[in-house]
Amino acid sequence: MEPRPTPPPEPAQSANAQDRFFALTLQTLERLRATQWDAIATVAGWLGEALARDGWLYVFGTGHSHLVAEEVFYRAGGLAHAVPMLDPRLMLHENAIQATYTEREPGFAAQLIAQYPVAPGDVLIVVSNSGRNAVPIEMALAGREKGLRVAAILNRAQSDAWPSRHPSGKKLADVAEVVIDNCGPNGDAWLHLPGMPGPIGSTSSLVGLLIIQLIQVRAVELALARGVAPEMYISSNTAGDPHNERLLEKYRHRIRHL
């Protein structure tokens, strides 16, 4: 595990909140570059190898972390072989309160992964800022049992500070093959403002989105080096419709969210 650097000092209090949060975000990205590049490259290597042999990428997250899963799915410049693992009961748009409790339920992940045609050698990325809830932990375990390469994107500071909610006592960082730290603070939010009961301005989502794109673009480059051009979507708001329709026809039966 690469060492986690000391959290940066906040920018000068004379700057306004907009300027301070922008500076904190840039500092977070700089720490990501300094400490997590090898881990990101490792996962990109897995994916490049998988794509070169017609394998697949699966991404799973609960709550706001599901945004990282949607980032790779059915979008301009995105891989056709990228699948989000989604269940409304773990998302926020129907019942946010219930989703908070559902992600703590043992046994849920096994039911969900069974709905996807995963195969040995495919890549599974599990995203969880806290890394302590049962469903992400069990999703990583289920993926490894099925022979997938399993990586986690999480917040080391928060994960290390709190106990697991899984019966085994393990956390996501304990069960993934590779852990990528989103370099956020304990509690996710960075910016302290007088009069507020806690910090505001979270960075886990925006850093997670960057991480998944970094993995994707490097993986495509590696697949190309192996002589394989991975299938991808082109913007449907340009001239991409005919190209995309061929992919949709090919994969509509395989990707349950199309």
User: What is the distance between the alpha carbons of residues 126 and 117, in angstroms, rounded to a whole number?
Assistant: 17
pLDDT of amino acid 198: 93
User: What is the distance between the alpha carbons of residues 84 and 50, in angstroms, rounded to a whole number?
Assistant: 16
Is residue 201 classed exposed, middle or buried when 0-12, 13-18 and 19+ CB atoms within 10 A define those classes?
middle
User: What is the distance between the alpha carbons of residues 50 and 34, in angstroms, rounded to a whole number?
Assistant: 27
Segment 57-77 mean pLDDT: 90
pLDDT of amino acid 101: 43
Lowest mean pLDDT among 108-112, 126-130, 134-138: 108-112
pTM score over 0.85:
yes
The answer to whether 157 touches 186, Cβ cutoff 8 Å, is yes
Instruction: Please give the share of the chain, as a percent, with pLDDT higher than 70.
Output: 87
Which of the listed ranges 12-16, 102-106, 178-182, 183-187 does the model predict with the highest average pLDDT?
178-182
CATH number of the domain that residue 175 is part of: 3.40.50.10490
Q: Which strand (E) or helix (H) includes residue 174?
A: helix 172-175
* 140 in a structural domain: yes
User: What is the distance between the alpha carbons of residues 24 and 19, in angstroms, rounded to a whole number?
Assistant: 9
Count of structural domains within the chain:
1
* 2 in a structural domain: no
Could you read off the pLDDT of 86-105 as tens digits, one per residue?
A: 876 655 466 555 555 465 56
Q: What is the amino acid identity at position 139?
A: M
At residue 1, does pLDDT exceed 60?
A: no
* 1 in a structural domain: no
Could you read off the pLDDT of 132-160 as tens digits, one per residue?
A: 888 899 999 999 999 999 999 999 998 88
pLDDT of amino acid 158: 87
Listed in sequence order, the residues at least 6 apart from 2 whose beta carbon sits closer than 8 Å to its beta carbon are: 35, 36, 38, 39, 181
Q: Supply φ then ψ for residue 6, to 5 degrees.
A: -65, 135
More confident residue, 94 or 111: 111
* 191 in a structural domain: yes
Domain extent at residue 190: 17-251
Strands 200-202 and 189-191: antiparallel
* 56 in a structural domain: yes
Mean pLDDT taken over the chain: 89
Quickly state the pLDDT bin for 46 (edges 50, 70, 90).
Answer: very high
The gap between the terminal CA atoms of the chain, to the nearest Å, is: 37
* 3 in a structural domain: no
